[in-house]
Amino acid sequence: MAIILASQSPRRRQLLEQMGFTDFLVRPAKGEEIADPNLDPWALVEALSRQKALEIAAGAAPEDLIIAADTVVSVEGKVLGKPHSTRQAQEMLTALSGREHTVYTGVTVCRGNELLTEHEATAVRFRLLTQEEIAAYIATGEPMDKAGAYGIQGRGALLVEGISGDYFNVVGLPVCRLGRMLFQFGVDPLTWTKEKE
């Protein structure tokens, strides 16, 4: 059995390693993400993580275990994905400034015909930011590949006043929830060794 992470995110890769998995494969989903924009944020990330998992599962062995995730930020009913330009990053960070938002990550685990999808939600509160601070943060390049245009595990931590919920969910992979999901597939990260992989 191979464990396959259907994501190119280095942060998700690091978190999976932190959970004790050292010899997994990385196969990012390449298909176009298609989801109803009218979905609630939690339903959107669940749908997108399911799409990614099923895409990779189609080319995997039946015994392989696929892990896929998708993260968005929601503020005042608006969903923020990854910015496509520095202007979009500036707009996102301005919208988050001085407000609380919610980070949603959908996670799908599948093997053969078994499939389980769940989501995690974490509330994050930003301090009030000046436009100069926003411009300086964007100039670091850090916001450009992250939902909501910030990375809490990097310099983005300087923008965050507090969080309520799973910190790792904000990074991009809710470790505790994923651990419980894997347990339902007979995989216990607490007792997992490389030989079992």
Q: Which residue has the higher pLDDT, 32 or 50?
A: 50
Instruction: Write out the catalytic residue numbers.
Output: 70
* pLDDT digit string, tens, across residues 9-24: 999 999 999 999 988 9
CA nearest to 169, candidates 76, 79, 106: 106
Q: Hey, what's the torsion of the CAs at 53, 59, 12, 186, to 10 degrees?
A: 70
Q: Which helix (H) or strand (E) holds 55?
A: helix 41-57
Euclidean distance between CA atoms 156 and 141, whole angstroms: 11
Roughly how many angstroms between the first and final C-alpha of the chain, as a whole number? 6
CA distance 23 to 33: 27
Q: What is the pLDDT of residues 72-100, one digit of tens each?
A: 999 998 999 899 999 999 999 999 999 99
What is the reported pTM? Answer: 0.92
The yes or no reply on domain 3-196 and CATH 3.20.20.70 is no
112 φ/ψ angles, rounded to the nearest 5 degrees: 60, -125
CA 151 to chain centre: 11
Domain layout of the chain by residue ranges? 3-196
What pLDDT, in 10s, does the model give residues 105-133? 999 999 999 999 999 999 999 999 999 99
Q: What is the pLDDT at residue 1?
A: 87
CB contact at 8 A, 105 and 70: yes
E strand segments, the chain: 3-5, 25-26, 65-75, 78-80, 100-111, 114-126, 160-164
> What does DSSP assign to residue 141?
S
Range of lowest pLDDT (30-34, 72-76, 123-127, 153-157): 30-34
The span from the CA of 6 to the CA of 16, in Å, is: 12
